[in-house]
Amino acid sequence: MFAFYLTTKQDEAQGRLSDLTFGYYDKTKFDGEVSWNPVEYQYMFGVPFEDIIFNGKKSNICQNNAHKCLITFDSGTSLMSMPKYATQLLA
């Protein structure tokens, strides 16, 4: 188990800092239910996802696709990356 807690610059100015925890999550920084997802690509903690939603509208990026949709949680990547087919569908 690991958890990301991301803050804004305004939050940081008030003393609330972003953090990454391993083996637990801070319940004071979380509302809702925990979602458990199977890790299907263990090297990069890849878990399946169904779609990407922009402004409330589904992109349908994973429908009718020969590729399995996986998302990777990476605390060291400042940019998003995705396969070429996905980039082309979103363009």
Judge contact between 36 and 25, C-beta under 8 A: no
| Domain ranges, ordered by start, for the chain | 1-31, 37-91
CA distance 14 to 16: 6
pLDDT cut 70: percent of the chain above it:
88
Residue 15: the pLDDT is 92
How much is the pTM?
A: 0.52
> What separation in angstroms does the CA of 46 have from each of 8, 62, 68, 84, 89?
26, 15, 11, 17, 20
Q: Is the pLDDT of residue 78 over 70?
A: no
Average pLDDT over residues 7-17: 91
Residue 81: the pLDDT is 67
Residue-wise pLDDT for 18-57, tens only, equals 998 888 988 888 888 888 888 888 777 788 888 888 889 9
